Each structure stands twice: as C-alpha cells, then as structure tokens.
Amino acid sequence: MVTKKSDIPTDFPHQPERIIEYKNLLLEVVFSLEEDFQTIEQEQAYQAVKEELKKEQEDFTTRQQSLESQLEATKSQLGESQQKLGATQQKLAVAQQKLNKEKRKNFHQSRELNAKKQKLNQAYQNSQTNYHHCQDQININASLTQQLTALQQDLKAAQAEINYHLGVAELAAENYKSQLTEAKQSLAQEKDGWQDKVDNLKNLLSEKQTKQAEVEKLFNQRCGFYEKEIEELKQQNQAKRQSSELWDLINQKDSSLNKLTNKKKQATQKIRGLVQEQKNQEGKHEEHICLPVDNGELTRLRQENQKKEQKIGELEQVIEELRDKPPIQTIDQPTQTETKPEPSNSERETLLIEINQQKATIQQLQTQLQQAQEPQTIIKEIPKIDLTTIQQLQTKLRKKEQTITQLHITWLLFLGSDTSSPFPFLGSKPHTSPASILVCIFLLR
C-alpha cells in the first residue's frame, strides 16, 4: 500500500488486470455501502449526528482538496498532450472500428446487462419514490454542487486525454480502496451503536405521542368550556343591545305621546271654540246656516283626533307591557333575585384580563396543533429530539454518501473500463465515450 509520494515508483508497469480487479472491488464496495445505508432505518441522536456530519465534511474537504490538486496536475499534463492529439485521432479511429467489431461479438452479453440495468433502474426509482417527499424539502449544499459541476465539466473537456495518465489513477484507486475499507469497518462498528439509540428514540416518540394525546384532550375540553362561555357572553351582549334599543324606543314613544297629547289639547280647544261660535250664531239667528268650510274642518279634525287617540292607545299598551315585564339582565348588572353584590370595576378588569388570557392560550394551542399537523419545511435547532429532525438528518447523510459514491465512480471513469468488465456500457479501455459518462451520472442521480 502506498502511503507517501516518495513510495510511488516512477517506472510503474502497465497492468490492466490489476486495474480491472481494483475497479470491480471498488464497484462492489460502493454497492455494498449503498445497501448498508438503505438498511439503516433511523439515525442516532441530533447532536451526535451533527458532530459526525462535521467530521465527515472536514474529511470530504480534505479529499476534495487532494482531488483538486490532482486535477490541476492532470490539466498541466493535458496541456502538453493537446499537441499529440492530432496524431492520436487517426489511431482512435482505427481502434473505434475494432471496438465496433468487439461490440458485435458481445451483443448477447449486452442484452443481459441491459436487463440488469433495467432492474437497477426500477429499484432506484422505487427508492426514489419512497424518499421523494423528504428530498424535496432539503436545500442542496451549494458548495458541493458547484464543485461537482466543475468536475463534470473538466471530465467532459478531458475525455480523450485521461487514458494517458493511468499510472497516477491506479495509485489514487489504491488509496481510495483503503479508505473505503476503513469507512466500511467504521460504519459496521457504528451500526451496532445506532440500533440501541434508535430503540431509545422510538420509546421517546411513543411517550411524546401519549403526552400529545393528553394535551389534545385537555385542549378539546378547554375549547368546549371557552366556547360555552363565549356563547353566553354573545347572548348577554345581544340582550343588552336589545334592552338599550327598547329603552330608546320607550323614550321616543314617550316623547311622541307628549306631542300627541299637546296636539289633542289644541284640537279640543279649537273644537270647543267652534262649538261656542255655533251656539252664539244659533242664539243670534233663528235660521241655522252651516258653512261648508266649517263642516269640512270639523270632520278633518275629528278624523285626526280618532287617529291620534288610536296611536295613543297603542303606545300606552306597549308601555304598560314593558313596565309589567321584569328588567332584562345585562352583563354588568345582576338580576333582582340575586343577592350577590355588584362587581366593582377592578373585578371587571380582572375578568376581562382573564378572558383575554384564555383567548390567547386558545390561539397558541391552535397554532401548535396546526404546526404539529403540517410538515416542517425549515430545519431548526431545538433541544428535544423529534422524528422530523431525525428524518432530515438521515436524508442529509444519504446525500453526502451519494456525493462520495459519485466521486468514486468518476475516478473509475478516469481509470477507464475493459470489455471484460461487468459494466461494458461505461466504455472501453483505451477510450471512454461521453455517452457512457452521462449514463453513469444519470444513474447515480
């Protein structure tokens, strides 16, 4: 195993068989890692996972820096190799013809591999549908996406030149192989500890659900009590409004009665004056002459008096009915039968404060219920461990592991592939086609 740059031999022999073995081992390790991460149902507590994420992120940054340094070295070498591309293109055309002949021979094998590929795609789609609702809520790490896009662009630009640097890539593959074995061992050790923590989390969740059910029962009881009080207050307010309106009507009717009595007195005085004038005229003249004007005025006044008397009678009946009825209870005034004293202003203020506090508590409980029912789209740091936070951390870990697997596959593409490999769609040994790279990236996503 290579540990230092000085240990790397300068005259490293070209060994395609070792490359194929390393590639196959790396693929097996990658698929085993994916299966291990899929079997994990729940992760450890929030703080422990957070620390592990930080450690993994630091390791990832160190690995990425090493990759960037290697890529810069390859770029410098690629600049030198661009001059040789003219001569190699003709050779690549001849090699392409040979590869087409070999592809025709391996047509039957490609069918079986395509069937396996379809099965893998179906399994990937099923897993994607299971976690689609969680993956949509998480914001992708911007720095990782930018770096991966940069690596993809570099790969597209350096598709024809990567085969000339197999020696360096083999050493990198050995380093990654050792790192993957160490990661697998560490994950196997951590898996046992996670199972106990998952059981503890399940117990905590069951206790929390029972407490939430009790809180909902108390909330429903309090809501029913508060609704009854609100209905009673509404009824009292309506009664108060009706009583105020009735007293206004009574006052208006009293004023109208006073006006009508005054008019009645004036009309009776007029009638008496007219009667006296008629008597005086009868005494003076033996023949009584009734003027039409006087008769019309008398009939009109009599009709008006009758109408006014009817209105006065109706109003008096209404007033008597209202006076016979007991006074309507208001919010602030108690009934006559009650012996309790009237509440003071301070007591009323305290009651109003309590009512407002109860309304505020009702609103808070309603908001809490809505938040508990709706899915949380924002990750918040809270002291208690919730199921939502665990799921979000689980998805984050899976995203990071997917990025690691993508980087491993890209290094495999650097190494190239052989027709004897179990995945011929990745390309052949002397040249990796851009279509194969795009297919690999699509499958990994």
- What confidence score (pLDDT) does residue 339 get? 44
- Give yes or no for a contact between 410 and 151, defined as CB atoms under 8 angstroms apart: yes
One-letter-per-residue 3-state SS of 282-304: HHHCCCCCCCHHHHHHHHHHHHH
Q: Which two tokens stand for residue 287?
A: 């023949």
- What confidence score (pLDDT) does residue 109 get? 75
- Give yes or no for a contact between 369 and 219, defined as CB atoms under 8 angstroms apart: yes
Q: What angle do CA 382, 388, 393 make, to 5 degrees?
A: 85
For 158, which DSSP code? T
Model confidence band, residue 63 (pLDDT cutoffs 50, 70, 90): confident
What are the C-alpha distances in Å from 4 to residues 1, 7, 83, 171, 175? 9, 5, 32, 11, 10
d(CA 133, CA 110): 35
| Concatenated DSSP letters of 229-240 | HHHHHHHHHHHH
Within a 10 A sphere around the Cβ of 152, how many other Cβ atoms?
A: 15
Average pLDDT over residues 306-318: 71
- Give yes or no for a contact between 385 and 201, defined as CB atoms under 8 angstroms apart: yes
- What confidence score (pLDDT) does residue 425 get? 43
The pLDDT tens digits for 37-59 are 666 655 556 677 777 778 877 88
CA proximity to 208, closest of 392, 394, 387, 391 = 387
- Give yes or no for a contact between 397 and 37, defined as CB atoms under 8 angstroms apart: yes
d(CA 261, CA 308): 9
What's the mean pLDDT when you consider all of the chain?
A: 67
The pLDDT tens digits for 152-178 are 676 665 555 655 655 665 676 676 677
CA proximity to 394, closest of 374, 379, 415, 416 = 379
Phi/psi-derived region of residue 427, left when phi > 0, alpha when psi is between -120 and 50, beta in every other case:
left
- Give yes or no for a contact between 167 and 9, defined as CB atoms under 8 angstroms apart: no
- What confidence score (pLDDT) does residue 435 get? 53
Rounded to two decimals, the pTM is: 0.19
For 424, which DSSP code? G
Percent of the chain with pLDDT over 70: 47
- What confidence score (pLDDT) does residue 1 get? 41
Model confidence band, residue 414 (pLDDT cutoffs 50, 70, 90): low
CA proximity to 88, closest of 23, 178, 159 = 159
Q: Which two tokens stand for residue 168?
A: 């360096």
d(CA 342, CA 334): 7
- What confidence score (pLDDT) does residue 266 get? 75
- Give yes or no for a contact between 191 and 40, defined as CB atoms under 8 angstroms apart: yes
- What confidence score (pLDDT) does residue 10 get? 44
The pLDDT tens digits for 243-287 are 677 677 767 766 777 777 777 677 777 767 776 776 676 655 444
- Give yes or no for a contact between 22 and 176, defined as CB atoms under 8 angstroms apart: no
d(CA 371, CA 368): 5
d(CA 321, CA 332): 25
- What confidence score (pLDDT) does residue 377 get? 47
- What confidence score (pLDDT) does residue 2 get? 41
The pLDDT tens digits for 112-124 are 778 887 887 787 7
d(CA 15, CA 445): 32
